[in-house]
Amino acid sequence: MILGHGDDAFRFDRPIRANFSSNVYSHVDLSQLKEHLASHIDVIGNYPEPEPYRLEAALAKRLGIDASSVCVTAGATEAIYLIAMAFSGSRSAILQPTFSEYEDACNLHGHTVEETDFSRADLFWFCNPNNPDGYVMPKEAVISLIKAHPITIFVIDQSYGFFTREPLLSPAEALRYPNVLQLHSMTKRYAMPGLRLGYVTGDPELLDKLRAVRMPWSVNALAVEAGLYLAERPDTAPIDLDALLSEAQRLRDALNGIPDINVDPTQTHFMLCRMQKGRAALLKDWLACERGLLIRDASNFKELDEGCFRIAAQTPEENDMLVDAIREWQQLQQ
């Protein structure tokens, strides 16, 4: 899917003053990283490594695993497309509703996509915490599934793994199982989606299949530079996760207090809101054009309807502004 994702401020003429529409928490202090990149801008003058091996080694060291178990990609999105290509023609099961790119990538590469019968799947895709609802599949349940289906390859997108206190399978733990690929995003943790940087961890034999279909130089030199910087300094741009998660719960309570809105329980900083009568597309346009607030119309997620939208918690002031604006829009509808 090209259009219909979040962070689409480019669609509106009016400047956006608060952005709830992608799952990026944008209030992190990236000044050190930006200074580092600005002072290393010369790296654009050379090709990046065809395979970003130095960065793979640096990430592996931080994760306590071998470099052969790390495959760096141009965002988690490239990882999704590489996996779908490497296993083209497979039977894939996808837990819906979720990020649409799993299914798009599977369709592009001739997979048969199942949504109900997971028992015969070659690949089982899920997002943990899940986009758009913030649900986290418990770690023990994940391990049981993996063990119960040793022939199935589990593609677990942990792009939002940093943003939950629920226990998750770590890359080192996941390596006990030869049938697991985990997707990770540098974009989400460090609020730098413009750079395109993610990675896959998992069994080296599975990763070799991805490397075999990867084009050279797919990860740009500034993304590699940022990755090397952050692998050495993972505490750059600190986030007070407890505060963010508690603010997300406060925002959820406030939204639940608006008539006609129900918010799904969430175990992360973003949440899925459902309106019985209102249309998310209209709400989104009104918020963007009249208030400069950007939300994600979630009606194009599978199994969701036209009343659904997704919000990632930002600062308390911005969240209050959003709640007030939605309440105002609701009143205008009556």
Write phi, then psi, for 110 (nearest 5 degrees).
70, 25
Q: Which residues contact 224 (CB under 8 A, 6 or more apart)?
A: 43, 48, 49, 52, 54, 55, 72
208 lies in the binding site for a copy of itself (CB under 8 A) = no
Interface characters, 14-53, with a copy of itself (x: CB under 8 A): -----x--x---x---x---x--xxx-xxxxxxxxxxx--
- Listed ranges 64-72, 124-132, 214-222, 258-266: which one lies at the site for a copy of itself (CB under 8 A): 214-222
The single residue among 60, 191, 200, 271 that binds a copy of itself, judged by CB under 8 A, is: 191
Q: Does 132 bind a copy of itself (CB under 8 A)?
A: no
| One residue of 17, 66, 89, 108 binding a copy of itself per CB under 8 A | 108
Stretch that binds a copy of itself, among 123-131, 222-230, 308-316, 325-333 (CB under 8 A): 222-230
Q: Is 105 in the site for a copy of itself (CB under 8 A)?
A: yes
Residue 151 within binding range of a copy of itself, rule CB under 8 A? no
Query: What is the rounded CA–CA span in Å between residue 68 and residue 192?
Result: 26
- Separation between Cα atoms, residue 179 and residue 150, nearest integer Å: 7
Question: What gap in Å lies between CA 21 and CA 43, rounded to an integer?
Answer: 32
The Cα–Cα gap between 160 and 29 comes to: 19
Give min distance, CB of 102 to a copy of itself, in A.
Answer: 12
Region label for 292, one of left (φ > 0), alpha (ψ between -120 and 50) or beta (otherwise): left
In whole angstroms, the minimum distance from the beta carbon of 302 to a copy of itself comes to 17
Determine if 213 is a binding residue for a copy of itself (CB under 8 A).
yes
Tokens of 76: 């988690």
Whichever of 108 and 289 has its CB closer to a copy of itself, that residue is 108
Assigned token pair, 50? 């065809």
Q: Which residues contact 264 (CB under 8 A, 6 or more apart)?
A: 133, 134, 135, 271, 272, 273, 274
Binding segment (CB under 8 A) for a copy of itself, from list 144-152, 191-199, 269-277, 312-320: 191-199
Residues 220, 266, 268, 319: which binds a copy of itself (CB under 8 A)? 220
Can residue 179 be called a binding residue for a copy of itself (CB under 8 A)? Answer: no
Candidate list 56, 69, 72, 75; residue touching a copy of itself; CB under 8 A: 75
Burial class (CB in 10 A: 0-12, 13-18, 19+), 264: middle
Q: Which two tokens stand for residue 274?
A: 């459902």
Peptide bond into 129 cis (omega under 30): yes
Among 196, 252, 296, 310, binds a copy of itself (CB under 8 A): 196
Residues near a copy of itself (CB under 8 A) are: 1-3, 5-10, 19, 22, 26, 30, 34, 37-39, 41-51, 54, 74-75, 77-78, 80-81, 101, 105, 108, 191-196, 211, 213-218, 220-223, 226
